[in-house]
Amino acid sequence: MHNGLVKIITGIRRSGKSYLLSVLFKEYLLGEGVDESHIIEVPLDKDEFRDYRDAIALGDYVRSRLVNDGKWNYVFIDEVQLARKILPKGVDLKRLAPEDRDEAYITFYDTLNGLRQMKNVDVYATGSNSKTLSSDIDTNFADRSSQIRMHPFSFAEYCEATRAEDKLAALDQYLVWGGMPLAVAETDERLRADYLRKLYSEVYINDIRKRNRLRDDYVLSCLIDVVSSATGSLTNPHKLVDTLRSTLKVETSDVTIAKYLSYLKDAFLFSEAKRWNVKGKRYFDYPMKYYAEDTGLRNARLDFRDVDPSHAMENAIYNELVRRGCTVDVGVVPVVTVNSEGRQELRYHEIDFVVNRASGKLYIQSAYSMPTQEKTDQELLPLRRSGDFFRKMVVTSGYSSPRVSDEGIVYVGVIPFLLDPSILDNALQE
């Protein structure tokens, strides 16, 4: 508060951004004695505020509502990406060089910056599109904004919201239904499933189609189904095109699919994890992995037909790492072995997560179960052959507390890992 920055809350729609700002934070301000006339709310996604969905009209409206009595005004702009850029009256684009024409427009970034510079005005905004917001924040705001990323409930928040005593049963439910706040609050499973399905069909797909001016959403809808099925699996646009063509008889192109994948990422529906060559210290262009922002949304999209606890646990771990401020890649370890014919073979083995944070680096394998020695050796091989001394961790199903093996590998159950941030913190600092 009062730091001169624009506070921007970003994240998937229906994750609670508006509730955080217009209910919880507003209640806090009122409780601190702020008069309601000093709180200016502009929910641009509501029909009655459609007249302010351009940057100039938005700025004019907010300025007309400011109270000039020496006390702080708090400006809440919800879904700010809906404010279109606008050309000021009297500006003739024909008189400008082509490279200067974009700068002639007033954007919502200009509006927010202008409000930010006014005395006793504290500016807050929410947005649901990373292309319009997150990727441009550094360019348009430099050091004049702070971004707050909002996610669906974490497992810890889910347990608090549901007052879960049996954490194992709670995790099973969480991996199936996810953490979208209204889905968590709904006790009727049929209504919960219907709500999650409608979020995709009536909110997310509709938003993407309108925002990107798609003629229809058939290919996009089919792509969502395929990516949801392949969550946590290596893929690329060409492979997805082949899958769409062979399984759904959809004809499209690599370019179109790459573009549609960017739309899904921009809407915060999926995150992309790139492959990192642990020994070569470089990224691979393709393939990569995609993880769903919420496992419940992913499962609902597939009508709950393909709920694999192993992949769901991996997805939940990935999301938790992102929540905790980590950058996450997929590790690739090249290993040379000798085959039965005595010939050398180069094979690439995968580390599920290469985790980086300012405090350190960590390799994590997500292993739902390791029932045999062969399976154990398979999971541990890339950790053992990484060729460095970064800390290594294996997260398994269940409750088991952290323990360190003779090899220095930390083994921990997914429940304490998701509930206790200090487990990750300690591993990254050591």
| pLDDT for 197 | 96
The reply to whether 345 and 331 lie within a common domain is yes
242 domain residue, yes or no? yes
Is there a single domain that holds both residue 193 and residue 141? Answer: no
Name residue 365's amino acid. Answer: Q
CATH number at residue 34: 3.40.50.300
Range of the domain at 195: 152-430
Sign of the torsion angle spanned by Cα atoms 404, 405, 410, 414:
negative
Domain match, 141 and 196 both? no
175 shares its domain with 272: yes
Instruction: Dump pLDDT digits (tens) for 146-174.
Output: 888 999 999 999 999 999 999 999 999 99
On whether both 75 and 219 belong to a single domain, the answer is no
pLDDT at res. 51: 95
Instruction: Look at residue 135 in the predicted model and tell me its pLDDT.
Output: 55
Dist. CA 421–CA 142, nearest whole Å: 31
Query: Taking the CB of residue 342, how many other CB atoms lie within 10 A of it?
Result: 6
Q: Is residue 287 part of a domain?
A: yes
- The candidate with the shortest Cα–Cα distance to 316, out of 153, 75, 84, is 153
- The predicted pLDDT at position 128 comes to 85
Q: Is residue 178 part of a domain?
A: yes
Q: What does each C-alpha distance from 208 to 38, 52, 86, 201 come to in angstroms?
A: 34, 21, 21, 11
For the segment 246-291, what is each residue's pLDDT rounded down to a tens digit?
999 999 999 999 999 999 999 999 999 999 999 989 998 889 999 9
Q: What is the pTM of this model?
A: 0.91
In a domain, 256, yes or no: yes
| Both tokens assigned to 280 | 């070569």
| CA proximity to 227, closest of 141, 162, 297, 161 | 297
Q: Is residue 419 part of a domain?
A: yes
Domain boundary pick from 149, 182, 210: 149
Domain shared by 382 and 397, yes or no: yes
Q: Say if residues 261 and 223 touch (Cβ distance below 8 Å).
A: yes
| CA 242 distance to own-chain centroid | 27
Angstrom distances, CA of residue 310 to CA of 6, 120, 320: 40, 52, 16
Q: What is the pLDDT along the chain (430 residues), one digit of tens a residue?
A: 999 999 999 999 999 999 999 999 999 999 999 999 999 999 999 999 999 999 999 999 999 999 999 999 999 999 998 999 999 998 989 888 888 888 889 999 899 999 999 999 999 999 888 766 655 665 666 667 788 899 999 999 999 999 999 999 999 999 999 999 999 999 999 999 999 999 999 999 999 999 899 999 999 999 999 999 999 999 999 999 999 999 999 999 999 999 999 999 999 999 999 999 999 899 988 899 999 999 999 999 999 997 899 999 999 999 999 999 999 999 999 998 877 788 888 999 999 999 999 989 999 999 999 999 999 999 999 999 998 999 999 999 999 999 999 999 999 999 999 999 999 999 998 6
377 falls within a domain: yes
Residues 115 and 135 reside in one and the same domain: yes
Does residue 177 sit in the same domain as residue 203?
Answer: yes
Tell me which of 121, 149, 177 is where a domain ends: 149
Residue 106 lies in a domain: yes
Residue 131 dihedral angles phi and psi, to the nearest 5°: -65, -40
Any domain includes 1: no
Together in a domain, 195 and 311: yes
Choosing from 102, 132, 149, the residue where a domain stops is: 149
Q: SS3 of 330, please?
A: strand
- Position 94 scores a pLDDT of 87
Whether 99 and 206 map to the same domain: the answer is: no
3-state secondary structure of 95: helix
The number of CA neighbours under 13 Å toward the Cβ of 158 is 32
Whether residue 43 contacts residue 54, with contact meaning beta carbons closer than 8 Å, is answered with no
Question: Are 190 and 60 in a shared domain?
Answer: no
Structural element, H or E, at residue 347? strand 344-357
Same domain, 264 and 373: yes
**How far apart are alpha carbons 194 and 177 in whole angstroms?**
11
Q: How many domains does the chain have?
A: 2
DSSP label at residue 20:
I
Integer Cα distance of 14 and 202 in angstroms: 12
